Amino acid sequence: MLNLGNPTATFGNVLLYAVCFNFLFVCKNHLIIMDLFGNEIKQELSLADKYLLCPTTVLSKRDPKWQQLKRKWMKLGIKSELGRDTHSELRVKGRDVKDYSYMKDFEGFASVGLSHAASIFDPVICEIIYKWFCPDGGLILDPFAGGSVRGIVSNYLGYKYTGIELREEQCISNREQAIEILEVNNQPQWYCGDSEQVLDSNWDIEFDLLFSCPPYMNLEVYSDLPEDLSNMNDEAFITKYNSIIDKSCKLIKRGGYAVFVVGDLRDNKGYQKDFTGITKQAFIKAGMKLYNELILVEPVGTKAMTLERGFKNGKLAKVHQNVYIFKKP
């Protein structure tokens, strides 16, 4: 006979407790709560467990759970830097730089998540944005595709990704990575070409989500192609950038979302170019409404070693990115 007054009484691997007329069973690390009639009482998940991370306007890559999620994705073998390691250059204060160790001190290097010669997009922010702002099995459009991360994460989670990338070698690399990680019948689609022209084609579908991380003007140079945004002066960049955003938004369903990960950068004299403001205005002109603004906190990393030097000129170390969420009325 079970003695309810003895909380350590056991039946094999099962511990039985009587608490407030409910019974708690602990079976091999799995907690089950039952009422007097033997019906299981379902426990509510925390917001963080339900939505990966708590859905607030500030997310941090320093969060242990973020790091745990990232390790899970990296185990898949995603190598987004492939396809541009021999082409990507970073421009600093008007000159080309190929010694990337120097770039660790440059305003904007850490803000775009650069740990190598080319920027690497974080798969965790992909997973979060897809689950928060795209319906299950939804269609995702990315007009500035770049590396493979956003496409592979999308289709791995059951969404359908369409990306547009200017450089053929990047598209080839992305497809090669995807075929190694995903099933043959579940491949992201990468169109090779100038987004401004590709988006002029007769698209017979609408997308649930527009998601991208555009070129940070001419901070990172991806190719020597004249139609590459990163090769343009600021005026030409803004004109083409606005056009691509406008054409992309026309393909989004009513009620659908557009999410861009952006950050500010400085000009040759150290003044901010307000790229975040340029991006917001482009979407508003395209008929979208600003719905949320999210701050993505980056690890301090090597910024800790250069904080004082930058602050001598009054420059604050940039350790966040802006994530803007727009909605189509």
> What sign for the dihedral angle of Cα 158, 164, 170, 175?
positive
Structure tokens that stand for 167 in this block? 């450089």
Entry pTM: 0.79
Give the C-alpha separation, 159 to 178, whole Å.
14
Task: Output the CA–CA distances (angstroms, integers) from residue 71 to 78, 87, 314, in the order listed.
Answer: 11, 27, 36
Structure tokens that stand for 306 in this block? 């250069």
**Mean of the per-residue pLDDT values of the chain:** 82
pLDDT above 70 for 17:
no
CA atoms within 13 A on the CB side of 231: 10
Give the C-alpha separation, 216 to 224, whole Å.
16
Please return the burial class of 288, using the count of CB atoms within 10 Å of its CB with bins 0-12, 13-18 and 19+.
buried
pLDDT above 60 for 87:
no
Beta bridge partners of 211: 259
Q: What is the pLDDT of residues 144-186, one digit of tens each?
A: 999 999 999 999 999 999 999 999 999 999 999 999 999 999 9
Give the mean pLDDT of 236-245. 95
Beta bridge partners of 258: 210, 326
Q: What is the pLDDT of residues 104-153, one digit of tens each?
A: 333 334 333 333 345 579 999 999 999 999 999 999 999 999 999 999 99
Task: Give helix 64-74 / helix 123-133 axis angle, nearest 10°.
Answer: 100
Q: What is the pLDDT of residue 26?
A: 47
Which domains are present in the chain?
10-43 (no CATH), 48-327 (3.40.50.150)
Tokens 């003695």 sit at which residue?
3
Give the mean pLDDT of 33-47. 70
pLDDT band at 227 (very low <50, low <70, confident <90, very high): confident
